[in-house]
Amino acid sequence: MLERYERLAARALQDEPPARDEARWILDGEDVALLPLLHAAYLPREKHFGRRVQVHVLNNVQNGLCPEDCGYCSQSRDSAAPIRKYAMKPREEILAEAERAARAGATRYCMVLSGRGPTLERTRELADLVREVKARFPIGVCLSVGLIDDEKARILADAGLDRLNHNLNTSERHYPEICSTHSYADRVATLAAAKQNGIETCSGFILGMGEQSEDVLDVAYRLRELEVPSIPVNFLVPIDGNPVLSDGSLTPERCLRALALMRLVNPRAEIRAAGGREGHLRSLGALVLWPANSLFVEGYLTTRGDAVNETYRMIADAGFEIGGNPLYAASTGEAGAREAQPSEVDSLRSFRLTGGDGEILKPEIAAPVRGVAPRSARP
């Protein structure tokens, strides 16, 4: 029974993707056993990244005001989502958020600007900002700014930009169903401009937009063909007011199968469980760490996510460790030593139940605290 999973893992360890029919089975096979599949995906993850988890923090530097019609996005021109629109944040605010990201243990600080793409003047401004972030803090910098050409990519590369994000989002066949104001080819051209100028590319997809399994396979293999080293896997968040809402296909198992597929097709890539993981994975959230070696913390562009301490607790509970950065390592050295020998109070704090404001005893059992009425008796 396990031979099939062993073959998948063995191919990935040799940097060979599964055949198309095997990849289709990973997503849709009725006889797939989830835990052996996750273990097969874990082996190449362990080989290339060990048990470390790279943490990324997003900064929504400019919100809304976008002329594009991407149906999944609450910032698009066609979305009726009730968001606050704002132009680019002040420089000092962006730098302060970079410092917070570094001190929180982020490996990478990701600045995102809405819009079709930056002007040449804005590109130069962003290049100066990249230089300053990198000069001040020991953290990688990623930009997501829409479409760029060779000249703009060269300006950003000269500033030392580590990565440029531009997601493929779906297959070329399905792309017209989610966006009409630019093409799939435009997105590929942006990735090519970054790569040609020595900037690492970051590109992934969004699951749950009415795509077929063949579309997911197309994206997985296209990302391999493009040699993308950083792949965020997003799970569509159904934001009220957006033209494209979740298609109902996103069970926790479907999400995990997609992550396993992405790892087995792209064994060396940084695979990130990205937007929507908290809401769609729910109680199986920690299992994303077997195929994925990267997470976002503190939310996404316009939607909430788990707080950093919640995510770090999940990582530690699953037996993984934070990738971090030198600033974070220096600031947590003593704290880490203390955590290795938890006190009785720490043990109480580490025991958590959902709801109940941290209380452990049932409200009908707990004796009232002097001067405080039992919960059931409170107005």
The verdict on residue 336 lying in a domain is no
How far apart (Å, rounded) are the C-alpha atoms in residues 232 and 234?
A: 6
The verdict on residue 184 lying in a domain is yes
The verdict on residue 182 lying in a domain is yes
The verdict on residue 55 lying in a domain is yes
Domains of the chain: total: 1
For residue 24, count other CB atoms closer than 10 A to its CB.
16
Predicted confidence (pLDDT) at residue 340 exceeds the cutoff of 90 = no
Number of H helices and number of E strands within the chain?
Answer: 13, 10
pTM of the model: 0.90
Three-point CA angle 44, 45, 49, nearest 5°: 120
Range of the domain at 60: 3-328
The HSE-up count of residue 117 (CA atoms within 13 Å, CB side) is 17
pLDDT band at 344 (very low <50, low <70, confident <90, very high): very low
Three-state secondary-structure class, residue 273: strand
pLDDT band at 354 (very low <50, low <70, confident <90, very high): low
Higher pLDDT, 141 or 298: 141
> For residue 54, what is the domain's CATH number?
3.20.20.70
Average of per-residue pLDDT across 199-225: 97
